[in-house]
């Protein structure tokens, strides 16, 4: 359900305070806000986030050696084939694509798990939590999509908490890229690539309505250029 977005300036101040605590470079004063005062906000429906997480789980399994026929069969039985993007489908079905690039999606999947309430936090100092894959469909033992949903009983985060994380990772993405350019030490395990993956998931899941926002993007349409 759509609601008024939190004050973007106060959220940004909290994000900058976190970057300062981590001793990371701060974005310039004209760094854009993610949303404007008065915009409306909502989180994509839980089942849609679950479906995206399940698809990425299969993509990762393929990157880590799962046979293509098993991935395709699982997706077909879950009725999720049409939820894959064209590049994901080509990779799952035919192995067409850079498996190393697809393996990076573990951090996007971690952010989706956090949104669903099945991962505890998105600590910017640490990579994807140990045990993450245990909270996702157990493909090796044939756990179905429906059985996984019954087992996890996802409780999606509030849209306000999701927006705050989005703004933090929007700023963190810039800051860690700056660290790479200036060859500055990182405060923890997360680098710009991992932060960008988490931001990708958050940008997709948090939907804004306002004069400067268009239609909600598909997974492949998420813009991480800023």
Question: 45: Cβ–Cβ under 8 A, 6 or more apart, which residues?
Answer: none
Number of domains in the chain: 1
With cut-offs at 50, 70 and 90, classify the pLDDT of residue 225: confident
Backbone angles phi, psi at 154, to 5 degrees: -55, 140
With cut-offs at 50, 70 and 90, classify the pLDDT of residue 182: very high
Confirm whether 220 is domain-assigned: no
pLDDT of 1: 77
Confirm whether 130 is domain-assigned: yes
pLDDT of 2: 86
The parent domain of residue 104 ranges over 46-152
**Res. 83: pLDDT tops 80:** yes
Confirm whether 14 is domain-assigned: no
Q: How far apart are CA 143 and CA 61, in angstroms?
A: 14
- Out of 13-22, 34-43, 118-127, 191-200, pick the least confident: 118-127
Confirm whether 27 is domain-assigned: no
Confirm whether 126 is domain-assigned: yes
């Amino acid at each position: 359900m759509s609601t008024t977005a939190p004050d973007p300036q106060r959220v940004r101040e909290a994000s900058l305070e976190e970057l300062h605590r981590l001793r990371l470079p701060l974005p310039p004063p004209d760094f854009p806000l993610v949303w404007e005062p008065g915009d409306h906000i909502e989180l994509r429906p839980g089942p849609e986030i679950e479906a995206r997480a399940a698809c990425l789980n299969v993509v990762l399994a393929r990157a880590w050696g799962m046979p293509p026929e098993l991935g395709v069969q699982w997706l077909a039985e879950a009725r999720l084939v049409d939820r894959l993007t064209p590049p994901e489908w080509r990779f799952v079905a035919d192995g067409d694509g850079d498996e190393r690039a697809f393996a990076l999606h573990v951090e996007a999947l971690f952010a989706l798990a956090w949104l669903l309430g099945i991962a505890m936090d998105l600590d910017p100092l640490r990579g994807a939590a140990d045990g993450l894959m245990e909270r996702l469909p157990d493909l090796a033992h044939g756990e179905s999509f429906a059985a996984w949903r019954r087992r996890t009983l996802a409780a999606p985060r509030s849209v306000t908490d999701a927006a705050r994380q989005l703004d933090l990772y929007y700023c963190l993405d810039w800051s860690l890229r700056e660290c790479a350019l200036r060859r500055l030490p990182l405060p923890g395990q997360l680098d710009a690539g991992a932060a960008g993956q988490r931001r990708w998931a958050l940008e997709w899941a948090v939907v804004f309505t306002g004069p400067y926002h268009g239609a909600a993007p598909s997974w492949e349409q998420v813009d991480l250029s800023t």
